[in-house]
């Protein structure tokens, strides 16, 4: 299965930990999702996406996600996100391809204005996020 990631799971270390296997650098392909905009989530270190006509959000696509890995991703994302099908362009392509993405549900935190930065997250929050996943492996059901 193909997945589009737009937030913390764009980080290969975190994605590898959540999936339970190493993710090679070349396995994540840059992609563009149209009509969605990434925002910081209020009180959180991760982003959420909101539908916005004419907007575009950069992300990464991973092919070959197994059913067991999808389950792990669903557990990691939690109640605030629903798995939906979206269409995004990969690399320099212009044909949108179908893929799965975790979109905010009614239980997601509200969005703040502005954009969320993966680079800032890596500097300020990555180490703690990795530690939290490692500490909660059993609780998460991994």
Q: Which two tokens stand for residue 56?
A: 């575009």
Q: Helices H, strands E: what count in the chain? A: 5, 5
Can you give the CATH number for the domain in which 49 is found?
3.10.490.10
How far apart are the C-alpha atoms of 12 and 28, rounded to whole Å?
Answer: 8
Range of the domain at 129: 3-137
Spatial contact of 94 and 86, defined as CB atoms under 8 Å apart: no
128 located within any domain: yes
pLDDT digits (tens, 9 = 90+) for 99-126: 999 999 888 888 889 999 999 999 999 9
Q: Given this model, what pLDDT does residue 138 score?
A: 75
123 assigned to some structural domain? yes
Per-residue pLDDT of the chain in tens (142 residues, 90 and over written 9): 999 999 999 999 999 999 999 999 999 999 999 999 999 999 999 999 999 999 999 999 999 999 999 999 999 998 889 999 999 999 988 899 999 999 998 888 888 899 999 999 999 999 999 999 998 877 777 6
In Å, how far are 95, 102, 138 from 84, measured between CA atoms? Answer: 19, 6, 26
Q: What is the pTM of this model?
A: 0.93
How would you class 124 by CB atoms within 10 Å of its CB: exposed for 0-12, middle for 13-18, buried for 19 or more?
exposed
Quick: pLDDT tens for 1-11.
Answer: 999 999 999 99
Count of domains for the chain: 1
Residue 142 domain-assigned (yes or no): no
Q: What is the pLDDT of residue 108?
A: 80
- Which of 43, 52, 59, 48 is CA-nearest to residue 125? 43
């Amino acid at each position: 299965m193909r997945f589009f990631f737009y937030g913390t799971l764009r980080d290969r270390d975190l994605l590898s930990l959540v999936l339970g296997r190493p993710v090679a650098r070349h396995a994540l392909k840059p992609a563009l999702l149209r009509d969605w905009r990434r925002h910081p989530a209020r009180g959180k270190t991760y982003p959420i996406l909101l539908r916005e006509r004419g907007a575009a959000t950069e992300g990464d696509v991973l092919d070959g996600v197994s059913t067991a890995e999808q389950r792990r991703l669903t557990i990691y994302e939690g109640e605030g996100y629903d798995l939906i099908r979206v269409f995004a362009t990969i690399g320099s392509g212009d044909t949108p391809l179908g893929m799965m993405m975790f979109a905010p549900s009614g239980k997601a935190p509200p969005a703040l204005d502005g954009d969320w930065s993966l680079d800032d997250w890596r500097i300020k929050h990555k180490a703690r996020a990795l530690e939290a996943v490692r500490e909660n492996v059993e609780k998460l059901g991994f």
